[in-house]
Amino acid sequence: MGTIIARKRKDGTTGFTAQVLKKQAGKIVWREAKTFDRRQAATAWMKKRETELAEPGGLERARAPKGKTLADAIDKYTETSRKEIGRTKAQVLAAIKDYDIANMDCAAIRSEDIVSFAEELSKGRQPSTVGNYISHLAAIFAVAKPAWGIPLDRQAIQDAQTVLSRLEVTSKSKQRDRRPTLAELDRLMQHFVDRQARAPRSAPMHRIVPFAIFSTRRQEEITTIKWEDFEPDHKRILVRDMKHPGQKVGNDVWVELPDEAIAVIKAMPRTVLPEIFPYTTDAIGAAFTRACLFLGINTDDMPDEKRLHFHDLRHDGVSRQFEMGKTIPQAASVSGHKSWHSLKRYTHLRQTGDKYAGWKWLKVVTTKTRAKPST
């Protein structure tokens, strides 16, 4: 007999607690409960446990002492990792705990269990997304046994990754080639200038968007750059904790700033806050996403590769460096790439000149006036 109870949490979200009872001769001989973020996950777990308890020896197995579960290993990893776990990785690991595999004893998890989990993930998700889930999970398998004695078999997930790749359930993320056109940027800039006039306290997207392009900085980097790290005389800025596959925390990198990016910074008002752009990534991302939908640049039924994302501004900025005739070392000094191999994807670009030469919006975003350009 099972029930699901929905309860409001303190943070306003809803948790779904699945309760399973087993009776013998009218008496309750087994009771267990587990809370999930989704009703669907709670229902699936409840039905699975009821089936397991109804099998011969099911009650005895339930009463037997349990080892560490995969959920325990995930919690241990997130609690003890000295490296800062990124928001995406943290969200993925939390989501995995909603699946049946998270309740399995670590010693019992085999490659076929991981393959089955990945196939369940693949319903409604792209192979690259499934690949990211398995990759984050593999990080736990790599350290669980040698670090904490939790018996996760590293070979099991390596075998599963091989199988999933060959079955094309997983794949590497495809490199995006989407760049904003000048016509799209014209519409976005007009929208953001008008928005700033209506709501002066909102994030100044009319300056953040050009800065992202000219500086080639990522969204999270823009929000953490401090005035004290800005050296206009040397045309550079210190980017703290720059994203890197093997390191993030402490990966502080000086990068060159093109003149246009310096001009945008100088136009920003100096406040008591240490950050040049004291806004959250959520606010910036949401404003950009809403504007692209409102202006019809993106649509709900548009394939993702054709949508314009904020991160595409960085790609446009790096591409611009090569179109202006910059070499790989020169472009890397702006983008902050430590590996020149990462920039080889741009070397096919021909020197065609500066896409933004004479751009009418540059004067608008580098002065403190909100006047609109003549059209």
pLDDT at 190: 97
For range 34-44, the mean pLDDT: 90
For range 20-46, the mean pLDDT: 88
Which of these, 42, 39, 46, 35, lies nearest to 9 by C-alpha position? 35
Confidence of residue 320 (pLDDT cuts 50, 70, 90): very high
Q: Is the pLDDT of residue 165 over 90?
A: yes
DSSP, residue by residue, 18-74: EEEEEEETTEEEEEEEEEESSHHHHHHHHHHHHHHHHSTTHHHHHHSPP--BHHHHH
pLDDT at 54: 87
Looking at CATH, the fold of the domain delimited by 182-365 is given as hpI Integrase; Chain A (1.10.443)
Out of 43-57, 79-93, 167-181, which region has the weakest mean confidence (pLDDT)?
A: 79-93
Nearest-angstrom CA–CA distance, 274 and 270: 9
pLDDT higher for 85 or 142?
Answer: 142
Q: 226: which DSSP letter?
A: B
pLDDT at 375: 43
Q: Is the pLDDT of residue 306 over 80?
A: yes
For range 270-288, the mean pLDDT: 93
For range 149-173, the mean pLDDT: 91
For range 350-365, the mean pLDDT: 91
Q: 280 in helix, strand or coil?
A: coil
Confidence of residue 65 (pLDDT cuts 50, 70, 90): low
pLDDT at 236: 96
Confidence of residue 373 (pLDDT cuts 50, 70, 90): very low
pLDDT at 227: 96
pLDDT at 245: 52
Instruction: Give the pairing type, strands 236-239 and 27-36.
Output: unpaired
Q: What pTM value is reported for the model? A: 0.63
Q: What share of the chain has pLDDT > 70, as a percent?
A: 93
Q: Which residues lie below 8 Å from residue 313, measured CB to CB, with a gap of 6+?
A: 180, 209, 212, 213
pLDDT at 28: 86
Structure tokens at 11: 């943070």
Cα dihedral sign, 274-275-281-287: positive
Structure tokens at 245: 């596959």
